[in-house]
Amino acid sequence: MRTQSKDKWVLITGASSGFGAAAARAFGAEGAKLLLGARRVERLEKVAAEARQAGASEAHAHFLDVGQTASVNAFVAWAKERMQVASPGTQALHVLINNAGGAHGLDTVAEGKDEDWEAMMQSNVLGVLRMTRAALPLMPHDAGASIINIGSVASRSAYEGGSAYCGAKAAELLITRSLRLELCGTGIRVSTVDPGLAETEFSLVRFKGDAERAKKPYEGAIPLTAEDVAEILVWVANRPPHVNIDELIVKCTDQAAIHKVHRRK
Ligand code: NDP
Ligand code: 8X3
């Protein structure tokens, strides 16, 4: 077993499904202590139980809406208290995974909806800033701590109907790069993991619950799974403290580029 996550506190936003839930289970299997946030608390409690079953020495769930500063601050205050109760005298957060986010709609700019644009900017952009600002005081210097943001191949390639999502993930990429400059000298590592096509609830959310439409992006291809991405997150966090994985792009073999996906008949 790799040991760098064992008994270390790992905070994951958007842990109620997809990458975040898989990351909770994967870090749990490493013996980590988990602080999990999302809006669907029932789902989150289930993920926490799965993570404990996988081997997490602690797994706690709490409501979090990264789109609201008050919710982020309340979540971090709760996280700080949980860490103190479980490990008195310490409030050391070893890994912060800013994963909460997603796409809403696939409209062109001409047909775009304010509520979709606002939701994408709130979660993918402002959520990362808010959570990082609130959690940074809990992160130790020179101890191999990591901030891992979940970006996307959409940060690097535009596509029709993707303007707000691509723009949001491009902002995440530049936020990650700025933060790495700001934290240089603290020993806190800053990474972005940028996946391509991955089958989670991402498309169901993008297409507002239309399950048939949500299947289309994956048809005929073998997409990434949430577990593929979770394994990478554990690997990134477990590099030796002097190693920073700056930017990691991962796509399924069938996706050569954002627009070029091999689909079997
Ligand atoms: P899912 O829809 O399965 O998971 C998204 C998670 O984010 C859920 O747990 C959801 O929880 C949470 N979330 C969304 N908005 C908020 C919010 N305002 N506050 C708190 N939590 C929130 O999709 P993925 O696992 O695929 O997505 C995870 C991340 O990966 C996202 O940032 C997405 O943009 C990115 N990504 C996804 C790719 C894909 O193809 N699947 C590829 C590249 C990047 P809840 O609704 O309970 O709050
Ligand atoms: C999700 C990947 O290509 O649907 O970030 O934008 S894509």
Nearest-Å Rg of the Cα atoms of the chain is 18
C-alpha 138, offset from chain centre: 18
Distance CA 47, CA 111 (A): 37
Whether the CB of 168 sits within 6 Å of ligand 2? no
Whether the CB of 258 sits within 6 Å of ligand 2? yes
Mutation choice for ligand 1 from 11, 16, 148, 193, CB with most ligand atoms inside 8 A: 16
HSE (CB half, 13 Å, CA atoms) of 256?
A: 4
Q: Among 19, 165, 202, 207, which one carries the catalytic annotation?
A: 165
Spatial CA neighbour of 77 closest among 32, 22, 24, 11: 11
Q: What is the pLDDT of residues 133-148, one digit of tens each?
A: 999 999 999 999 999 9
Burial of 100 by CB count in 10 Å (0-12 exposed, 13-18 middle, 19+ buried)? buried
Secondary structure of the chain in HEC code, one letter for each residue: CCCCCCCCEEEEECCCCHHHHHHHHHHHHCCCEEEEEECCHHHHHHHHHHHHHHCCCEEEEEECCCCCHHHHHHHHHHHHHHHHHHCCCCCCEEEEEECCCCCCCCCCHHHCCHHHHHHHHHHHHHHHHHHHHHHHHHCCCCCCCEEEEECCHHHCCCCCCCHHHHHHHHHHHHHHHHHHHHCCCCCCEEEEEEECCECCCHHHHHCCCCHHHHHHHHCCCCCECHHHHHHHHHHHHCCCCCCCCCEEEECCCCEEECCEECCCC
Atom of ligand 1 nearest to the CA of 153: 43
Q: So what's the pLDDT on residue 2?
A: 47
Atom of ligand 2 nearest to the CA of 196: 2
Q: So what's the pLDDT on residue 89?
A: 79
Domains of the chain in sequence order: 9-261 (3.40.50.720)
Q: So what's the pLDDT on residue 102?
A: 98
Distance CA 188, CA 96 (A): 11
Q: So what's the pLDDT on residue 88?
A: 84
Which segments of the chain have a pLDDT < 50? 1-3
251 Cβ contact list (under 8 Å, min separation 6):
153, 195, 196, 197, 224
Q: So what's the pLDDT on residue 91?
A: 76
Strands, sheet with 189-195, edge to edge from the N-terminal-most edge strand:
58-63, 33-38, 9-13, 93-98, 146-150, 189-195, 247-250
Beta-strand pair 189-195/58-63: unpaired
Q: What is the value of pTM for the model shown? A: 0.98
Distance CA 62, CA 76 (A): 10
218 labelled catalytic: no
Residue of the CA atom closest to atom 6 of ligand 2: 154
Ligand with the closest atom to the CA of 47: 1
Whether the CB of 154 sits within 6 Å of ligand 2? yes
